[in-house]
Amino acid sequence: MKFPKPQTLEQIAQIIDCEFVGSSNFPVLGMNEIHVVQAGDIVFVDHPKYYEKALGSMATIILINKKVACPKGKALLISDDPFRDFNKLTNHFKPFRPATAVIANSAKIGLHTIIQPNVFVGNNVVIGDNCLIHPNVVIYDDCIIGNNVTIHSGTVLGADAFYYKNRPEKFDKLTSGGNVVIHDNVDIGALCTIDRGVSASTIIGEGTKLDNQVHVGHDSVIGKRCLIASQVGIAGCVLIQDFVTIWGQVGITSGITIGEKAIISAQSGVSKSLPPNKSYFGTPADEFRKKYKEIASIRLIPDIIEKLDKLK
């Protein structure tokens, strides 16, 4: 998430009331999670296990809960609770704006696009040309939809990320300041849910087709011309490369990559990154040939036990 205009390190420190290390005029351009940070961004870290990763990332401002040596060319914001202060910054630069109309006045809708009855379109939404949005679709603030996109009834674009910090007294929610981006020629089935990014975009690539009841978690990126069948659940921060096929009821864990042209069979559970150009099934999902060998071996177990019993 980029700020509307560049800030200084001192200005950011004043917003969250914290100490800083670095020049007061050090430029701050935005804020992002670790997997999408760029130069000029703030990243937060609140556990020693991840200090090195955050300090060595592309981020040039680290919001951290301990005073450590500051890497050259970077700056620190020292906070007793970086998670809380990251939320403060999101709420400051991207505050919630209540709706004042069913289709916001700030929304931009392209030529020949049809919006059916009972569709909600939030603030600053952009919808391209020749789209068809069916009844009861909800499009939250800041979503961007390309040309020739069809979205079926009951789908929700841009709900908050499912991202919580487990505190002793409660689950504390990480505020979502990102959006959803749908590229050209995408079809989205009925009752799909695509969550907004925490600080960046959840993206559905050009020509991809989603069946009914598909869930896409925050900050996930789906490539072009993918086919995703009904009841697939994709967790946050997943990268699905181009031309991937995912059949029904597949579950995919967070933070992994599915390689180009991979095929994942129905009801598989994907718990690790999968290389491209192969077919997978099972839980945990693995390559077809390997999985069939495992199944064949398991079927031999009763015969092996019987033979061992006879030898006793």
Q: 182-200: per-residue pLDDT in tens?
A: 999 999 999 999 999 999 9
Q: Is the pLDDT of residue 304 over 80?
A: no
Within a domain: residue 296?
A: no
Q: Provide the domain count of the chain.
A: 2
Question: What is the CB neighbour count within 10 angstroms for residue 24?
Answer: 11
Share above pLDDT 70 across residues of the chain, in percent, rounded to a whole number: 100
Q: Is the pLDDT of residue 42 over 80?
A: yes
pTM, entire model: 0.92
Summarised one tens digit per residue, pLDDT across range 207-230 is: 999 999 999 999 999 999 999 999
Same domain, 189 and 266: yes
Same domain, 117 and 17: no
Question: What is the CB neighbour count within 10 angstroms for residue 200?
Answer: 24
Instruction: Select from 62, 93, 124 the last residue of a domain.
Output: 93
CA distances from 52 to 44, 70, 289 (A): 12, 11, 39
> Which residue range is the domain that position 73 belongs to?
2-93
152 is catalytic: no
Instruction: Select from 30, 61, 93 the last residue of a domain.
Output: 93
Q: Under 8 Å CB-to-CB from 165, ≥6 apart: which residues? A: 83, 171, 172, 174
Q: Under 8 Å CB-to-CB from 156, ≥6 apart: which residues? A: 137, 138, 140, 192, 193, 194
Same domain, 140 and 284: yes
Catalytic, out of 134, 183, 215, 218: 218
Q: Is the pLDDT of residue 161 over 80?
A: yes
